[in-house]
Amino acid sequence: MHGMLATPVETVKREAEGGADIARIATIVDELGVFEVIVGLPLNLRGERTLSTEDAVGFAEQLATSLAGIAEVRLVDERLSTVSAQGQLRQAGRKTKESRGVIDQAAAVVILQHALDVERNRGSAPGEVVAPTPDQRRNEDAT
């Protein structure tokens, strides 16, 4: 069985309001024929939820609602992905202090590669499926 290699496509900046980020991701999903989207689940080192966790879950729910019937959205543990990405960038000779965007993109690749590796090794998709939010779907249908 051959493995897959995670590669970055585009960094989509999170928007506090308006949903431009969700719309851009939906466009990328459509253009590339994506069938599964992985969202990092930020937990503390003990595996407990934090305020960032709730933000990520909310974002994943919005994304799942937008992509309902097109692509599945999964939350995957992202602990230590930034540390791993920084180490990889340092090994490649990149300065990490002024490279927050590059670090975030590299961390996203680490999260996705981990998810692909887990799925290949276990034979089942990692993380937890995010269900579309019925209330949000109803709001979209009303407009």
Q: Is position 44 within any domain?
A: yes
Which residues, at least 6 apart from 50, have a Cβ–Cβ distance to it below 8 Å?
Answer: 42, 43, 44
Q: What is the CATH number of the domain that holds 76?
A: 3.30.420.140
Q: What is the pLDDT of residue 1?
A: 47
Q: What is the pLDDT of residue 122?
A: 92
Q: What is the pLDDT of residue 63?
A: 97
Cβ–Cβ under 8 Å, residues 114 and 76: yes
Residues 21-78 pLDDT 10s: 999 999 999 999 999 999 999 988 898 999 899 999 999 999 999 999 999 999 998 8
The pLDDT of residue 138 is above 70 = no
Q: What is the pLDDT of residue 3?
A: 67
Q: Which structural domain range is residue 121 located in?
A: 20-134
Query: What pTM was estimated for this model as a whole?
Result: 0.80
How many structural domains does the chain have?
A: 1
Q: Tell me the pLDDT band of 15, cut-offs 50, 70 and 90.
A: confident
Which residues, at least 6 apart from 137, have a Cβ–Cβ distance to it below 8 Å?
Answer: 65, 68
Q: Which residue has the tokens 């965007």?
A: 101
**Higher local confidence (pLDDT), 74 or 14:** 74
**Higher local confidence (pLDDT), 68 or 9:** 68
Cβ–Cβ under 8 Å, residues 24 and 12: yes
| Alpha-carbon 139 to chain mean position | 24
Backbone φ and ψ for 125, nearest 5 degrees, come out as -65, 140
Assigned token pair, 67: 């992509």
AA letter at 76: V
Please report, to the nearest 10 degrees, the dihedral formed by the alpha carbons of residues 69, 29, 135, 75 taken in order. 100
Residues 84-128 pLDDT 10s: 777 777 787 777 666 777 778 888 888 888 889 889 999 998 999
Q: Is position 80 within any domain?
A: yes
Q: What is the pLDDT of residue 9?
A: 87
Cα separation, 106 vs 88, whole angstroms:
8
Q: Which residue has the tokens 């979209």?
A: 140
